[in-house]
Amino acid sequence: MEAEKQDDWVFMVTARAPTNIAVIKYWGKRDQKLILPINSSISVTLNPHDLSAITTVAVSPSFKEDRLWLNGKEVSLQGDRYQNCLREIRSRATDVVDTKSGRTITKEDWQNLHVHIVSKNNFPTAAGLASSAAGFACLVYSIAQLMGVQERYKGEISSIARVGSGSACRSLYGGFVEWEMGEDDDGKDSVATQLVAETHWEDLFVIIAVVSSCQKETSSTSGMQDSVHTSKLLHYRAKEIVPKVIIEMRKAILERDFATFARICCADSNQFHATCLDTSPPIFI
Ligand SMILES: Nc1ncnc2c1ncn2[C@@H]1O[C@H](COP(=O)(O)OP(=O)(O)OP(=O)(O)O)[C@@H](O)[C@H]1O
Ligand SMILES: C[C@@](O)(CCOP(=O)(O)OP(=O)(O)O)CC(=O)O
């Protein structure tokens, strides 16, 4: 009985993370396991009150395994992406004091405790609206908060979200965000940084028209790898075009130059669609 009582506690954290829309697109990986891209990208983070994921993560000695419920249904956490995120966060856990109960959960305790994660998206999942970006950013952020993870270098938590889904690293910050592709093999320098805060361009509004909430035929993950293997245009874009337009886009954002911003954004989106058509077999998005 006494042992049962000692196990009878739960400690939890809730977080909300918005989705983001790329204005210079990420498409293609140079390392699939670490999710390292072939080009840098820039996105705008939406207002968390519009399109977002809300995640509650709880820990208790009575939990026998890590579990996830997504939009009311239990889903497997066994996939590499979830396992890689959990492992990276656990390895950075620190001593945490639950201020309500005064209980300390030590760095060592976290290695044996299990989490239950409940998440809900307030917009269609896996339908092309970057649910994986909001979902993994939220999951990583909330577990990192729970386990008292402190960044040892700027963007470290974004690099953990990145191993869940590339675009998720950009959802850790508001405003305009750049995901630098980086050069290191271990991905340490492939992190997101905020270019400007959400207050920088307050009269810029994003209108999202949901034309279909059905699950997509081609996932971004498999589609972009097909492009890497078959589209020469994609490699030309990544090497020759993106490095230049990233500089122009940063400037347009800093100067709130809407005409230039819109021109580059539309051209990049069209070019992304062109690489999809240049893929074999072609991807129709
Ligand atoms: N709130 C969430 N919590 C945890 N995982 C999530 C969450 N939302 C989505 N996911 C994961 O992301 C997957 C969907 O990612 P996918 O890339 O297929 O679609 P998308 O991100 O909505 O679309 P796109 O990448 O084209 O914008 C889900 O199957 C699930 O594994
Ligand atoms: C077209 C995109 O939205 C593709 C996003 O792809 P994901 O980030 O969903 O892919 P994975 O890293 O394999 O999870 C462009 C972008 O957001 O930059």
**Is the beta carbon of 126 within 6 A of some atom in ligand 1?**
yes
| Collapsed DSSP state (helix, strand, coil) of residue 82 | helix
**Is the beta carbon of 39 within 6 A of some atom in ligand 1?**
no
Q: Which ligand is nearest to the CA of 26?
A: 2
Rounded to the nearest angstrom, the distance between the alpha carbon of 222 and the centre of ligand 1 is 13
| pLDDT mean across residues, the chain | 95
Rounded to the nearest angstrom, the distance between the alpha carbon of 220 and the centre of ligand 2 is 6
Domain spanning 2-198, CATH class: alpha beta
pLDDT above 70 as % of the chain: 98
This complex has an ipTM of 0.96
Give ligand 2 pocket residues (Cβ under 6 A).
Answer: 22, 25-26, 35, 41, 130, 132, 165-167, 220-221
Rounded to the nearest angstrom, the distance between the alpha carbon of 192 and the centre of ligand 2 is 14
Give the separation between CA 31 and CA 54, rounded to whole angstroms: 29
Q: What is the pLDDT of residues 43-76, one digit of tens each?
A: 999 999 989 999 999 999 999 999 999 999 999 9
Residue spans per domain, the chain:
2-198
Which atom of ligand 1 approaches the CA of 125 most closely? 22
Count of other CB atoms within 10 angstroms of residue 33 = 11
Q: What is the pLDDT of residues 146-181, one digit of tens each?
A: 999 999 999 999 999 999 999 999 999 999 999 999
What residues have CB less than 8 Å from 247, skipping those under 6 apart?
none
Give the separation between CA 43 and CA 27, rounded to whole angstroms: 13
Task: Select from 163, 131, 167, 127 the least CA-distant residue to 23.
Answer: 167
Give the separation between CA 182 and CA 13, rounded to whole angstroms: 32
Residue 4, pLDDT > 60, answer no
What six digits make up the tokens of 45?
Answer: 């983070």
Average pLDDT for residues 192-214, to the nearest whole number?
92
Letter string b/e over residues 6-32, b meaning 16 or more CB atoms within 10 A of that residue's CB: eeeeebebebbbbbbbbbbbbbbbbee
Ramachandran region of residue 155, left (φ > 0), alpha (ψ -120 to 50) or beta? left
Are the beta carbons of 30 and 37 closer than 8 angstroms? Answer: yes
What six digits make up the tokens of 137?
Answer: 């950013």
Count of other CB atoms within 10 angstroms of residue 104 = 10
- Phi first, then psi: what are they for 15, rounded to 5°? -140, 160
Say whether the peptide bond before residue 281 is cis (omega within 30 degrees of 0): yes
- Phi first, then psi: what are they for 104, rounded to 5°? -105, 130
| Side-chain half-sphere exposure of 3, counting CA atoms within 13 A | 0
The amino acid that residue 81 corresponds to is R
Which atom of ligand 2 approaches the CA of 37 most closely? 12
Identify the pLDDT of residue 5. 60
Give the separation between CA 18 and CA 234, rounded to whole angstroms: 28
Task: Select from 22, 26, 25, 27 the least CA-distant residue to 43.
Answer: 22
